[in-house]
A = this chain, B = another copy of it.
Amino acid sequence: MHTRIEQLCLDKGMKMTEQRRVIARALSESTDHPDVEQVYQRASELDPRISIATVYRTVRLFEEANILERHDFGDGRARYEEAGHRDHHHHLINLRSGEVVEFESEELEALKRKIAVELGYKIVGERLELYGIPIDDGDEPKGAGQN
Which residues of A come within 8 Å of B, CB atoms?
66, 72, 74, 84, 88, 92, 94-95, 101, 103, 105, 107-108, 111-112, 115-117, 119-136, 141, 143-147
Is the pair B124, A126 in contact by a Cβ cutoff of 8 Å?
A: no
Q: Which of B74, B107, B147 makes the CB contact (< 8 A) with A123?
A: B147
Chosen A-B contacts, 7 in total, with CB atoms closer than 8 Å, are A92-B121, A107-B111, A112-B130, A115-B130, A125-B131, A127-B127, A127-B129
A111 to B111 Cα, complex, angstroms: 9
With both beta carbons as reference points, the residue of chain B lying nearest to A137 in the complex is identified as B122
Q: Which residues of B contact A95 (CB under 8 A)?
A: 124-125
- List the number of copies, as a whole number: 2
Contact across chains for B125 and A145 when beta carbons are under 8 A apart: yes
**A11 CB to closest chain B CB, in angstroms?**
15
Contact of A105 among B72, B74, B115, B127 (CB under 8 A): B115
Across the interface, name the chain B residue whose C-beta is closest to A73. Answer: B127
A73–B95 alpha-carbon span in the complex (Å): 21
Closest residue on chain B to residue A83 by CB atoms: B146
Q: Which residues of B contact A136 (CB under 8 A)?
A: 120
- Chain B residues with Cβ below 8 Å from A135 are 117, 120-122
Contacts of A120 in B (CB 8 A): 134-136
Q: Do the beta carbons of B132 and A116 come within 8 Å of each other?
A: yes
Q: In the complex, A132→B122 CA distance in Å? A: 5
